[in-house]
Each structure stands twice: as C-alpha cells, then as structure tokens.
C-alpha cells in the first residue's frame, strides 16, 4: 500500500503513529473509518504486529462488521482478521465474561436481559419492597440504576451516598434487590456487561494482566460517546502499554442523556500527558454550503478542541427552509418535494432520509407515505425482537439455555395456556423462595409442594418434561431446528391458527421469519451455539439492521442517524420546544448538546438539506404553536433560502431576539411556547391589551370569546394588521388586531 497516495496528510500521520496515546479529532465525513482500517492493515503488514494483539472497539455491530470487511479487503487474509477483536464495547465484554465470569460467582451460560426483562424484574422487586409505582415509577428506577452502572456506582455505594434522601434510599433498596435477583437468575442486564467486566478486572489482577498483555494496541471509535464504565474499562486495559488510539469528535457528542461523558474526550490530554493530537478537518461527504451551515451552527457552542471542517466539494444548493401552515402541510410538502426530486434529479427513494427529534413525529409521515404508496423504512419503531410472539419463543430459548432465568420462565410457563395460572405460579415462587432454590427447581419438584392441586401438578409435570426434552436436544440440533421444534411441540402455532384475529396471521409469519433468522445466523457465524444466537440478538440495535440497498425512504431520529449519510435530508419539526427541546431552555449544557445534535443532523446530508417547521401542530392532542428553531437562525443568511411561501421576517433573525434559547422565551404549563413581547406584562390582577405594533408570531393572546391562543402568522394590509390565531379550544381564526378584543395571555 502506498499510504501517502491513499491518504491525505493528516490521515497519513494518524495511520503511521503506532505507539503511545493518540487522540484523533475527526470531524463529520473526514474519513475516520478509513483511518482506522488503514491503520490496522498498516500495523499488521508493515509493522508485523500480531492481529490477536489488536483490540478495535466501535459502537454498533454494523460499524464493526464494516471495519472487519474493509480490513479483510486490505490485507487479504481472513484468518488474520478473524484472530483480531473488532467489536462493540458490549460484545467485547460478553466475550470476556463468557470466559471469566465464574470468578464473580456466575455460571458462564448467563442470560442477557433486554429492557423488557429488566423492567419485569424491577417491578417484582418493587412489589416485594412494597413500593407503589404511583410514588416512584419502574421507569424512573430503571433509569437511575442504568445511570449508576454507567458511572460505575454500586448499589451499596449509591445507598450510602443517599442515606438522608428518602426517595433515593428507596431506589437504592430496589437496586440492591434487583442485583441480587439478577445473580440468582444467572443473568446480566445490558449495563452489567461493561460494569461486571470492570468489576472483574478490579477484583482479579491476574485476569486484568492477561488481557493487558493480550491487547497491546487498543483503538476506540466514537470516544466522545463513552460513559464512565467504558472509560474505566479502556483505561484499565491500556494502562500497561499505553498504546491507546481514540477517534472522536466533541462536536458530535449527543448521548449525554444516556450517560456519555464529553469530559472523556475533552480531558484526554490530562489522562495521557504525552498524548499526540491529530485533527482531521477535511470533509469528503457534504457540499460546501451544507458544511458551512453546520460550522455556523456549531460555532455557537464553546469549544475546547478548536477545529473547522473544510471541503473541496462544490458549493451546491442552499439550505432550503420551509414554513408549513400545519404539521400535515409539512408532511405533504416533504412528499411533494421528494416526488419532484425523483423526477428532476433521477433519485431513488433510498436517497432520502426524514430526520426528527422524537419517534412520535414519524406518525404523520408514515400515514402520508402509506396513502401515497411511498415505500419507507422506520428505524426505531417496534423492533422485530420486541414483538410478543418473538419474545415468547425467545424466552423458551433463554430457559433452555439457562434454567436459572426465572423471568423468562415465568413468561412462558403458561404460554400457550396449559392450566398453570397465576395462583399456581405464585405457589411455585413461594416454594422456591422458602427452599432458596431457583424457580425451575420448584417446577421439577412440584409433586413435593403440598399446596398444589393434583390438576396443577399434572400440568406442571407436562411442562417440565417438555422443557427437559428441549434442554437435552439443545447441543444436538441446530438452533433453527430447535426453534422449529419449540414452536411445534409447545402448540404455539396451533393456538394462533385457531384464532380469527388478522394480527395472528402475521404472527405466524413472524415466527417463520425467526426460523429464517436462525438459519442466517448459522451461515454467518463461527459460533453456532444457542447462547451465541441469544447474545447476538440481544446486542443488536436498530441501526445494525438498516439495509442501505433497500429502495425506501428512511424515517429515523437524528440520534439514530449518526454515522449514516444520505444525498437528501429533511430535518423536520425544527421549532423551539421540539428541536431544541424544552429542557434546553433551562440548561446551557442541554442547549449545547441539542446544538451538537443539530450539527450531526446537518452533516448527514451530502447534496441537499431541507429544514421544515410549522405554524402550528398537534402535540399530545393539543394544537400548539412554536417559534422557528434558534438553530435555523444560526445558519448564515447567505447559506439558506426560504421556499414555498412568501419570504417572511422570522423571529430570531431580527437581531433583537436572537435569544440563544434563554432570553425572551415564555414556557406555559400546557407545553406551548411563544416569543415574549418586548412590552412588559401588567401587574398581577391586570390584563395588558395587545398593541398591534408589538405583535409577533408565536405570541400568546387571550380573546373574550375564543379563549387563549397563539399568533401563527401576521399579514399587514391597508386597513390594518391581520393575525391568524390558533385558539386552544376554538380552532384557527383570522382577526384584525386594531379592533379585536385581544389581550396578552
């Protein structure tokens, strides 16, 4: 490989820097995957480094697979690539724990709980501790436990830190009981995979030493998205040789809400004083106008690592800003524009992506696409493995693989119905707790439980016999054959066939698809065991299943789009209160992360970028009107054009109220937002009459007859100024401001 010809100057420097700590600040579209793959190939071919001494960590299975394929193509040796660890944090940790977790008192065939299983177990713990979910929700407790594990805070430590806080103390009690029950079930939740690996290393110096010697060269992608436990894991592994090569971009740190700590990348030089910093600032993805728009937005955030993306690409079209009358108009506009671009520019449906801030925003677009016959793929909707019938069969497989998994066992003990009702299950659980045995042991010993009826005992014995036969076969037949047998022998499909419900027909199809997924797994994986199949599907994310070749429009959140790129991108719902969200107006830190998220969204576009917002939309069943997003106003004027409507002077671009999300912004208890008038509010008990000259789009007003509403558009005519007002209870009205009885709300 002639690396100097294949790479630009900074990419070459990164690829050739082999030893010592290195931080590569890689801007969007600057070729970081190219750097990572060429560096691995260079290390193996030109520096004779054993592939097994290299650990490369990414954040998605899709990225890991892509990296493996690229390295294989570069070095042409599949065996060498196979001996190297290229995987996600979680997959890396599972691989270590499958070998070593017995040192923490677990069996190596542990189950990995998904969010549904975790919530089920948390609810059990809450019930046992008499915690009312009206006082503290299972969602709040799950979030708190996850945050603790991300920061490597144990249940005991959390309880000690919150002894004087009644609420937090209750959460700590659930956390402690939850961890104990996980261990009894020989199960780990998703956050445990990294947490327990760090715990393993901290408690077993010999185990840590082995992996430190094995992984002499460590590479971490998307370092800005690492949390506390991931940071500790990386630091522990790299502390022996200090050959740590991390790639990231502080401008793309967008996962603070799920534990990512931007300090990990900002403080890299403090952790490794002799670290080398390399900046990749040449963008190969986007047209110049799109890149300049991204730079102008992110420039409003404070920077520790200064860098400016540049490109040799042509300017391209300006950013198109569309102001819709309503959210339905917004969806219609997107559909019409796509049709026009497909005709005029010879594009396909998979050239388009609709990006939004929250999953709830997809509904209107899905309805429009369905009515107009536009094929689409929804990333982040109901996952295949979240469907009831799939979770049922997967729970059978979990118990077959790990009989200690009481959560999975409780789910399927009476599915399909076999006369083992809740009363019987509770008696089994009471016996298990009394004898301090797993629930499946109680199932096997059911004849010795005096509280069970003969009928219940017969049903339980049949179930135990069925499960035991599956367990005997699990190592003798393929996973696909085992799934097929479970579906048939349990009578699951027969019960669905008896149903007249149309959704049960599709459930049967989904079960066939599960068998197909297992066949595909057997073709593509060296480890074809049941444990590996369960593991793979627990660790998969939505983006891992995204098929770039499918000719369909992609609908996804901006968070899900990170790492992807599309010729044409629509960023919809660009309004204050949606993007940025409400929390951003109370916190500078939140606003900065929202701005980074906007930067990520903009830089997904290669050729064309649209930003749309609406005069009013339905949110939680109410008509609301939000001001255009601050982020639109932060894009330089010469980089954007307003289309589809008469050019209007948008609030936030007058120079008087470019409020950075804080000054002049009213938050109402009903969730609607508007720009505050410069005229001061009347004293308590008085009402301030609206002055037509101070009326602005987004202003909250009150009418004697129509009640409270929001100005969504203004039109000046010879006889006076007319306002289109969306009233909360009386729809949209057009009123002349100098004669209408309007007051400031």
E strand or H helix that includes residue 142:
helix 138-150
Would you name the residues annotated as active-site residues? 32-33, 221-222, 252, 604
Residue 193 DSSP one-character state: H
Rounded Cα gap, residues 5 and 81, in angstroms: 24
Q: Which long-range contacts (CB under 8 A, 24 or more apart) does 689-694 make?
A: 689/742, 689/743, 689/744, 690/737, 690/742, 690/743, 690/744, 692/720, 692/721, 692/737, 692/738
Q: Please give, one letter per residue, the 3-state secondary structure of 530-554.
A: HHHHHHHHHHCCCHHHCCCCCCCEE
For 43, the token pair is 């290390």
Burial (CB count within 10 angstroms: exposed 0-12, middle 13-18, buried 19+), residue 409: buried
Among the listed residues 678, 578, 673, the one whose alpha carbon sits nearest the alpha carbon of residue 631: 578
Residues forming beta bridges with residue 354, ordered by sequence position: 555, 570
Can you read off the two tokens belonging to residue 739? 């004669």
64 has binding-site annotation? no
Q: Which residue has the tokens 């990749």?
A: 280
What is the length of the chain?
745
| Angle between helix 479-489 and 454-473 (nearest 10) | 160
Is residue 32 part of an annotated ligand binding site? yes
Would you state the structure tokens that stand for residue 225, as one six-digit string?
């998205």
| Distance in angstroms (rounded) separating the CA atoms of residues 628 and 66 | 38
Q: Is 27 annotated as a binding residue?
A: yes
How buried is 597 (Cβ within 10 angstroms: 0-12 exposed, 13-18 middle, 19+ buried)?
buried
The dihedral built from the CA positions of residue 103, 107, 109 and 112, taken in this order, carries a sign that is negative
Burial 554-566 (b: 16+ CB within 10 A, else e): bbbbbbbbbbbbb
- For the record, the structure tokens of 687 come out as 């009402």
How many other C-beta atoms lie within 10 A of the C-beta of residue 448?
11
Quick one: which of 304, 230, 313, 284 has its CA closest to 57?
Answer: 230
Strands 700-703 and 742-744: antiparallel
HSE-CB of 361 using CA atoms within 13 angstroms: 24
d(CA 591, CA 538): 33
What the block records as the tokens of 356 is: 């939004």
613: left (phi over 0), alpha (psi -120 to 50) or beta: beta
CA nearest to 665, candidates 581, 723, 738? 581
- 33 annotated as belonging to a binding site for a ligand: yes
Is 226 labelled as part of a ligand binding site?
no
Q: 502 burial class (0-12, 13-18, 19+ CB within 10 angstroms)? A: exposed
675 three-state secondary structure: strand
For residue 215, is it left (φ>0), alpha (ψ between -120 and 50) or beta?
A: beta
Annotated binding-site residues read 26-33
Tell me the binding residues for ATP: 26-33
């Amino acid at each position: 490989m002639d690396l100097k010809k294949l790479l630009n100057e900074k990419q070459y420097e990164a690829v050739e820097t082999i030893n010592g700590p290195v931080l590569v600040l890689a801007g969007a579209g600057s070729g970081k995957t190219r750097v990572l793959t060429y560096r691995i190939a260079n290390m193996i071919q030109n520096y004779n480094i054993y592939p097994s001494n290299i650990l490369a960590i990414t954040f998605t299975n899709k990225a890991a697979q892509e990296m493996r394929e690229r390295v294989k193509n570069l070095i042409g040796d599949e065996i060498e690539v196979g001996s190297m660890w290229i995987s996600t944090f979680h997959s890396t940790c599972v691989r270590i724990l499958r070998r070593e977790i017995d040192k923490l008192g677990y069996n190596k065939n542990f189950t990995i709980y998904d969010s549904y299983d975790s919530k089920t177990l948390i609810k059990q713990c809450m019930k046992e501790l008499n915690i009312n979910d009206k006082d503290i929700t299972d969602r709040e407790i799950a979030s708190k436990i996850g945050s603790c594990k991300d920061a490597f805070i144990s249940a005991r430590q959390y309880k000690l830190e919150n002894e004087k806080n009644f609420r937090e103390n209750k959460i700590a009690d659930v956390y402690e009981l939850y961890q104990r029950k996980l261990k009894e079930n020989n199960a780990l939740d998703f956050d445990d995979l990294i947490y327990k690996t760090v715990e393993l290393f901290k408690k077993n110096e010999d185990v840590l030493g082995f992996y430190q010697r094995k992984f002499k060269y460590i590479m971490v992608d998307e370092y800005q998205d690492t949390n506390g436990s991931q940071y500790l894991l990386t630091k522990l592994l790299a502390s022996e040789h200090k050959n740590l090569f991390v790639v990231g971009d502080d401008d793309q740190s967008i996962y603070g809400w799920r534990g990512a700590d931007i300090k990990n990348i900002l403080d890299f030089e403090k952790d490794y004083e002799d670290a080398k910093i390399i900046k990749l600032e040449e963008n190969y993805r986007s047209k110049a106008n799109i890149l300049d728009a991204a730079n102008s937005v992110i420039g409003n955030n404070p920077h520790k690592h200064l860098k400016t993306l540049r490109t040799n690409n042509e300017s391209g079209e300006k950013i198109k800003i569309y102001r819709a009358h309503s959210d339905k108009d917004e969806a219609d506009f997107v559909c019409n524009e796509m049709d026009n671009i497909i005709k005029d520019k010879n594009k396909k449906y998979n050239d388009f992506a609709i990006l939004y801030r929250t999953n709830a925003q997809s509904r209107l677009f899905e309805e429009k696409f369905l009515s107009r016959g536009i094929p689409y793929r929804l990333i982040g909707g109901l996952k295949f493995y979240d469907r009831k019938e799939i979770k049922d069969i997967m729970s059978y497989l979990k118990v077959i693989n790990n009989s200690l998994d009481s959560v999975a066992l409780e789910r399927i003990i009476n599915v399909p119905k076999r006369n083992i009702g809740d009363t019987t299950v509770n008696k089994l659980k009471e016996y298990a707790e009394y004898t301090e045995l797993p629930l499946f042991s109680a199932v096997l010993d059911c004849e010795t439980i005096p509280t069970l009826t003969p009928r219940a005992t017969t049903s339980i014995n049949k179930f135990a016999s069925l499960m035991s036969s599956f367990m005997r076969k699990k190592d003798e037949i393929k996973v696909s054959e085992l799934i097929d047998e479970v579906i048939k022998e349990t009578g699951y499909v027969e019960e669905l066939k008896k149903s007249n419900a149309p959704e049960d027909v599709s459930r049967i199809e989904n079960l066939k698809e599960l068998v197909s997924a297992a066949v595909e797994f057997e073709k593509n994986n060296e480890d074809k065991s049941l444990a590996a199949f369960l593991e793979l599907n627990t660790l998969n994310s939505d983006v891992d299943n995204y098929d770039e070749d499918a000719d369909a429009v992609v609908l996804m959140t901006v968070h899900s789009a990170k790492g992807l790129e599309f010729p044409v991108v629509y960023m919809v719902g660009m309004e204050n209160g949606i993007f940025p969200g409400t929390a951003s107006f109370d916190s500078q830190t939140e606003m900065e992360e929202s701005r980074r998220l906007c930067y990520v969204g903009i830089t997904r576009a290669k050729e064309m970028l649209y930003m749309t917002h609406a005069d009013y939309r339905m949110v939680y069943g109410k008509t609301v009107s939000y001001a255009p997003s601050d982020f639109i106003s932060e894009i330089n004027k010469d980089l954007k054009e307003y289309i589809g409507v008469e050019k209007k002077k948008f609030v936030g671009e007058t120079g008087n109220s470019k409020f950075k999300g804080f000054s002049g912004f009213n938050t109402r208890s009903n969730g609607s937002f508007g720009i505050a008038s410069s005229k001061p509010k009347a004293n308590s008990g008085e009402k301030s009459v609206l002055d037509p000259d101070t009326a602005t789009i987004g202003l909250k007003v009150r009418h004697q007859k129509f009640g409270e509403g929001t100005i969504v558009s203004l039109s000046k005519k010879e006889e006076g100024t007319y306002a289109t007002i969306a009233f909360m209870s009386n729809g949209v009205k057009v009123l002349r401001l100098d004669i209408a009885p309007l007051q400031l709300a």
